Amino acid sequence: MMTPQPDNWTLYGQTFQSRLLIGSALYPSPSVMSEAITASGSEIITVSLRRQSPSEAGGEGFWQQLKSLNKTFLPNTAGCHSVKEAVTLAQMSRELFETDWLKLEVVGDDYNLQPDPVATIAAAEQLIKLGFKVFPYCTDDLVICQRLRDVGCEVLMPWGSPIGTGRGLMNPYNLQTIRERIPELPLIVDAGIGKPSHAVQALELGYDGILLNTAIAQAGDPVMMAAAFRDAVAAGRQAARAGAMPERQTASPSTPTLGMPFWHQQ
Amino acid sequence: MMTPQPDNWTLYGQTFQSRLLIGSALYPSPSVMSEAITASGSEIITVSLRRQSPSEAGGEGFWQQLKSLNKTFLPNTAGCHSVKEAVTLAQMSRELFETDWLKLEVVGDDYNLQPDPVATIAAAEQLIKLGFKVFPYCTDDLVICQRLRDVGCEVLMPWGSPIGTGRGLMNPYNLQTIRERIPELPLIVDAGIGKPSHAVQALELGYDGILLNTAIAQAGDPVMMAAAFRDAVAAGRQAARAGAMPERQTASPSTPTLGMPFWHQQ
Amino acid sequence: MMTPQPDNWTLYGQTFQSRLLIGSALYPSPSVMSEAITASGSEIITVSLRRQSPSEAGGEGFWQQLKSLNKTFLPNTAGCHSVKEAVTLAQMSRELFETDWLKLEVVGDDYNLQPDPVATIAAAEQLIKLGFKVFPYCTDDLVICQRLRDVGCEVLMPWGSPIGTGRGLMNPYNLQTIRERIPELPLIVDAGIGKPSHAVQALELGYDGILLNTAIAQAGDPVMMAAAFRDAVAAGRQAARAGAMPERQTASPSTPTLGMPFWHQQ
Amino acid sequence: MMTPQPDNWTLYGQTFQSRLLIGSALYPSPSVMSEAITASGSEIITVSLRRQSPSEAGGEGFWQQLKSLNKTFLPNTAGCHSVKEAVTLAQMSRELFETDWLKLEVVGDDYNLQPDPVATIAAAEQLIKLGFKVFPYCTDDLVICQRLRDVGCEVLMPWGSPIGTGRGLMNPYNLQTIRERIPELPLIVDAGIGKPSHAVQALELGYDGILLNTAIAQAGDPVMMAAAFRDAVAAGRQAARAGAMPERQTASPSTPTLGMPFWHQQ
């Protein structure tokens, strides 16, 4: 058996092994958060300026704890409802978290908390001109994804389903279409992942990674669930590389022939 | 972080760690088979007397190779169409493979290759009286499963979908019903698993293991796919133990509150 | 436009136009029941001896009302748990309802109220020898269906999903397999239909009819829902006869060419 | 039984009974088209200026035939790829078809032929200022739908799935969200409907109508399929008004009690 090839991937020029990006909210306690993040194997953590400003009282300890994990931070603009708000918050985040990476979220509706496609494109365009490396959270819409690529996003993050629902991949057909039509960019399913099987399915479709928070933070045992997702992305990625058998309409015996060694069967 | 508890399971008094049972047919070559089985982490291999009789010419080398893997064998009665045929083959298998373990398959239809529920119950009853440890391959029918339990089966193996189709879990509702109503026995999804996501889903439903063959043997890269399934069953099992978040109808923000450390949020 | 061909179907030698069989339980009142049955266009009504004995006090008025609708009755053995119980009740039903038609139900589990496949086959065999025209309620299992056919059933009634759940067709693949493999008998989906779309789907799969009760009786407006199901079976049946377009993986314009009359397009 | 209330609906001030809008392309012949449209009961026909210009040779006879059906025309901008192209074609259509109704289509991708969300909003805004009554074909995205409403569209037409695929409602969750959040406008599912069961499902979700073409025009028997869809929209609409039973997780007997008249049961 040969040593397996390293299977890294690259986001804005930085190389990673883990294909699981993880959030830092909603955990039962800071120590569970640290343990879960460690168990997940994630190398990238999303952080929210709105809640986690290093300079704020109370946030300082949390921030030190996050920093001690020695991961790459991906600040987000969660809770922004307009281009202007997102751009302002992004600039504050860059200064405070000392990174030009940015998960861009512009909420378009308070019911399903979905991204506003039009505002997200506009904000991405401005932010890229300002030197940000934008990770846009978007719906599973091919044309929106193409426009985000065209304004300079080098990674795209379509949703699986509305944030916090845990419904998994609502529309695998759309996600597959985006994968086929935008082969040149890394694609991450962001939001809606509720179980490890959803994560595996995303990777099997050829997605490069997933980003989640609630499914781990609100599991019965967040640390064990983090390990489950670590194994799930490993499984899904290997499956995509190995090439799955085709689905068949009718049954086919796995022991088809009598009296012949199996490697002579057709 | 505490050392995780060992998570073994028991089949007819024997204890195992791996929750993946693997078949020995349809691989591109004997050496790929050996590598794939090793990569899968499986401890139990199904073998077919019809194809793999140790005493037959040609089969001898294959048999030696399988034996050298040092795994537990589970002989099957693949290809049998009647109670009598299955019982006769089972007795030959016991002698040749030197085990009273038996995967019972009685084919009921040549189109979907499904088990014959009535004949499977009758054969199981006879075989158990003859001292066999029967692993019955059956459909996802609660009452059939209950009857197999009542005649003495200590493990049940409902299908996911017809063998060789790779369609995954056709009827999760039925599988879940069986799990809820038969909590006392180990349950294994046998047949129809096409991708690692299917395996994870079975374990997430509370199933104790899966049995597959084609999905690994006929993958583009069987060895890598075997590793994918190894990780998939690990992921699914941990997810079942950790307890998944509930699925929600409406969105829920993962960063809900401003200006408060997250562990003070409700 | 030609006059459409009459599209009758035949059950045990009797010819019907409506493909909707309807139950007589759970309505808000007897008069709503009568109105709903009339609106449904059904020609066959299932009745339960256990609740609707013509000879019992209280039942007499109900019975007279049902009789006044001038429909064909299909007595059922709802609530029976054994072959003996079902055969006994069937014989009482034959005498009281003056018909040898019988919907055979032998409950196998009190949780999902599914038929007991083994007992249903045994009871069907006995009842057919006693001269009954048996309509067996069974699971969506091809081999069980074949055995019911082999003991003399001239119609089969696999379930869509557990009775009263309204979950529709849990396993379209299994239902389609039964249709393909048993082309010679009329097939009716019985139980689990919750909405008209489920009924249409059953007919589109090539099923000859559907039987339901709760979906109409417990609708907000049972009479209007009965009319909805009447139109649904008409729609589904015509769709099956007309032949649906094939499902496609990729988009295809409905206005593909410029400057050419559409009937010259390929 | 009371006479059912008339169940009309209103589009830009015009009242209709039929909830099926039909296309005029891809039929095997003009006479089959006429027969199918008549059988469908549709009162609104989409027409494409690009193919069906009344002034073009060859188109004249087709145009006369369409006019003789005495329906309301809904010209579309099929095949346009930009705001400017769509606005220009719309103006030509208004003059030639003598109506300010317009089905707005701006193609965003040649693979899935989906609408371009950004261009569709921009074009709708311009066209409404020019006095058009715009029926925008859009994806199933709540925020895009809200923006189209906000620029003055009084009806919205999200897709079911890509045009010509016949895959039905890919994402019922999204469609339901749009219905719940935009209760004030008529909503039509446009594109992707392949079978009558899909149409029923759309109406059951509370949609007011459907628009299709290929599913009828390319059916084995377009005229019979048109009648199937006529009955399907009637079924779905009545189901939505009648109120479906709730889906249940576990079985519930339809004949629950012995010895009691059914209307005294709980």
Band of residue A264 on the pLDDT scale cut at 50, 70, 90: very low
Residue A215 with chain B: CB contacts under 8 Å: 244-245
Res. B203 pLDDT band, cuts 50 70 90: very high
Separation in Å, CA of A12 to nearest CA in chain B: 25
> Taking residues D99-126, what's their average pLDDT?
95
Q: Could you tell me if residue A106 is left (phi over 0), alpha (psi between -120 and 50 degrees) or otherwise beta?
A: beta
Of residues D116, D146, D170, nearest to A143 (C-beta): D116
Contacts of A112 in chain D (CB under 8 A): 142, 177, 181
Give me the active site residues of C, please. Answer: 103
Q: State the pLDDT at residue C263.
A: 37
Q: How many CB pairs under 8 A join A and B?
A: 289
pLDDT digits (tens, 9 = 90+) for B7-43: 999 999 999 999 999 999 889 988 999 999 999 999 9
Instruction: Report the C-alpha gap between C159 and B158 in whole angstroms.
Output: 19
Chain A residues with CB-CB distance to D168 below 8 A: none
The pLDDT score that the predictor gives to residue C111 is 87
Q: Which of A250-264, D96-110, D120-134 has the highest mean pLDDT?
A: D120-134
Q: Which two three-digit tokens encode residue B153?
A: 């089966």
Bigger pLDDT: C163 or D56?
Answer: C163
| Closest chain B residue to the Cα of A195, Cα to Cα | B244
Q: What is the mean pLDDT of residues B200-221?
A: 96
pLDDT grade for B256, boundaries at 50, 70 and 90: low
Tell whether B13 lies on the interface with A, counting CB pairs under 8 A: no
Beta bridge partners of B101: B133
Burial class (CB in 10 A: 0-12, 13-18, 19+), B257: middle
Mean pLDDT for chain D overall? 89
Chains contacting B (3+ CB pairs below 8 angstroms) = A, C
Top-confidence residue, A240 or D48:
A240
A58 touches chain B (CB under 8 A): yes
CB atoms within 10 A of CB D152: 14
Backbone angles phi, psi at C169, to 5 degrees: -85, 100
- In total, the C-beta contacts within 8 angstroms joining chain B to chain C are 72
Q: D12-21 pLDDT, tens per residue?
A: 999 999 999 9
Question: CB of B154 within 8 A of CB of B188?
Answer: no
* Residues near A150 by beta carbon (within 8 Å), at least 6 away in sequence: none
Q: Find the helix or strand (DSSP H, E) in which A117 lies.
A: helix A117-129
D contacts of A111 (beta carbons < 8 Å): 142, 177, 180-181
pLDDT at residue B251, as a whole number: 80
- pLDDT at position C55, please? 52
**A109 interfaces chain D, CB cutoff of 8 Å:** yes
Q: How confident is the model at residue B3 (pLDDT cuts 50, 70, 90)?
A: low
Other beta carbons within 10 Å of B58: 13
Of the candidate ranges A228-242, D203-217, D236-250, the one whose mean pLDDT is the lowest: D236-250
Look at the block and give the residue holding tokens 């300082």.
A60
Question: Would you say the ipTM is above 0.85?
Answer: yes
Q: Which residues of C touch D239 (CB under 8 A)?
A: 195-197, 225, 228, 232
Nearest CA in chain A to D148: A118
Task: Count CB-CB contacts under 10 A for residue D66.
Answer: 22
Q: Which of A84-93, B55-64, D53-62 has the lowest mean pLDDT?
A: D53-62
Cβ of C112 within 8 Å of Cβ of B177? The answer is yes
Of C238, C249, C250, C260, which to mutate for an interface test with D (greatest number of D Cβ within 10 Å)? C238
> Phi and psi at residue A39, in whole multiples of 5°?
-65, -30
CA distance to partner chain D, nearest, from residue A64 (Å): 38
Inter-chain residue contact B260 with A217, CB threshold 8 Å: no
Residue A59: what pLDDT? 63
pLDDT in tens, C92-110: 999 988 999 999 999 999 8
Q: Is C260 on the interface with D (CB under 8 A)?
A: yes
Which range of A144-153, B40-49, C19-28 scores highest in mean pLDDT? It is: A144-153
Q: Which of A27, A195, A245 has its CB closest to that of B215?
A: A245
Contacts of A1 in chain B (CB under 8 A): 35, 38-39, 223
> What is the share, in percent, of chain B residues with pLDDT greater than 70?
89
Q: φ, ψ for residue C11 (rounded to 5)? A: -125, 115
Residue given tokens 């057919």 in the structure block: C128
Contact B118 C171 (CB under 8 A): no
Q: Which residues contact C246 (CB under 8 A, 6 or more apart)?
A: D166
Residue D31, chain A, CB below 8 Å: the answer is: no
Binding-site residue ranges of C for 1-deoxy-D-xylulose 5-phosphate:
164, 191-192, 213-214
Binning pLDDT at 50, 70 and 90, where does residue B258 land? very low
The verdict on D7 touching C (C-beta cutoff 8 Å) is: no
Residue A62 in contact with partner chain B when CB distance is under 8 A: yes
Could you tell me if D38 and D247 are in contact, meaning their C-beta atoms sit under 8 angstroms apart?
no
Q: Is D30 on the interface with C (CB under 8 A)?
A: yes
- pLDDT-based confidence at residue A4 (cuts at 50, 70, 90): low
Nearest to A245 among B24, B194, B242 (CB): B194
Chain A contact for B45, CB < 8 A? no
Residue B176 with chain C: CB contacts under 8 Å: none
The chains in contact with chain C, meaning 3 or more Cβ pairs closer than 8 Å, are B, D
List the one residue out of A163, B176, A203 whose CA is nearest residue C162. Answer: B176
pLDDT score of B188: 98
B108 touches chain C (CB under 8 A): yes
Q: What is the Cα gyration radius of chain C? A: 20
- For B171, the closest of C109, C143, C170 (CB atoms) is C170
Q: How far is it between the farthest Cα atoms of chain B? A: 76
Residue-level pLDDT at A139? 96
Q: Is B111 on the interface with A (CB under 8 A)?
A: yes
Q: Is A81 exposed, middle or buried (0-12, 13-18, 19+ CB in 10 A)?
A: middle
User: For B221-230, D1-10, D31-40, D116-125, which range has the lowest pLDDT when averaged over its residues?
Assistant: D1-10
CA dist A210 and A188 (Å) reads 5
Residues of chain C with pLDDT under 50: 1, 57, 257-266
Task: Find the angle CA(B239)-CA(B241)-CA(B244) to the nearest 5 degrees.
Answer: 50
pLDDT value of position B1: 44
| pLDDT tens, residue by residue, C177-213 | 999 999 999 999 999 999 999 999 999 999 999 999 9
**Chain D: partners with 3+ C-beta pairs within 8 Å:** A, C
Selected for mutation to probe chain C from B121, B137, B139 (highest C CB count within 10 Å) is B139
More confident of the two residues A40 and A165: A40
Q: Is B8 annotated as a binding residue?
A: no
Q: SS3 letters for chain B?
A: CCCCCCCCEEECCEEECCCEEEECCCCCCHHHHHHHHHHHCCCEEEEEHHHHCCCCCCHHHHHHHHHHCCCEEEEECCCCCCHHHHHHHHHHHHHHHCCCEEEECCECCCCCCCECHHHHHHHHHHHHHCCCEEEEEECCCHHHHHHHHHCCCCCEEECCCCCCCCCCCCCHHHHHHHHHHCCCCCEEEECCCCCHHHHHHHHHCCCCEEEECHHHHCCCCHHHHHHHHHHHHHHHHHHHHHCCCCCCCCCCCCCCCCCCCHHHCC
Domains by residue range for chain B, with CATH: 9-243 (3.20.20.70)
Say what the alpha-carbon torsion angle D51, D52, D57, D63 is, to the nearest 10 degrees: 160
3-state secondary structure string, chain C?
CCCCCCCCEEECCEEECCCEEEECCCCCCHHHHHHHHHHHCCCEEEEEHHHHCCCCCCHHHHHHHHHHCCCEEEEECCCCCCHHHHHHHHHHHHHHHCCCEEEECCECCCCCCCECHHHHHHHHHHHHHCCCEEEEEECCCHHHHHHHHHCCCCCEEECCCCCCCCCCCCCHHHHHHHHHHCCCCCEEEECCCCCHHHHHHHHHCCCCEEEECHHHHCCCCHHHHHHHHHHHHHHHHHHHHHCCCCCCCCCCCCCCCCCCCHHHCC
Contact assignment for D170 to A167 by CB distance below 8 Å = no
**Nearest-CA distance D179 → chain C (Å):** 18
Q: How far is D9 from chain C (nearest CA, A)?
A: 18
Q: Where is pLDDT greater, at A152 or A54?
A: A152
**Average pLDDT of D144-152?**
98
Q: Which of B184, B229, B231 is nearest to B206 (CA)?
A: B184
Instruction: State how far the Cα of A242 lies from the Cα of B222, in Å rounded to an integer.
Output: 7
Band (A66; pLDDT cuts 50, 70, 90): confident
Paired sense of beta strands A20-23 and A44-48, if any = parallel
Name the band, by pLDDT with cuts 50, 70 and 90, for residue D180: very high
The predicted pLDDT at position B259 comes to 41
Which of the residues of D are catalytic? Answer: 103
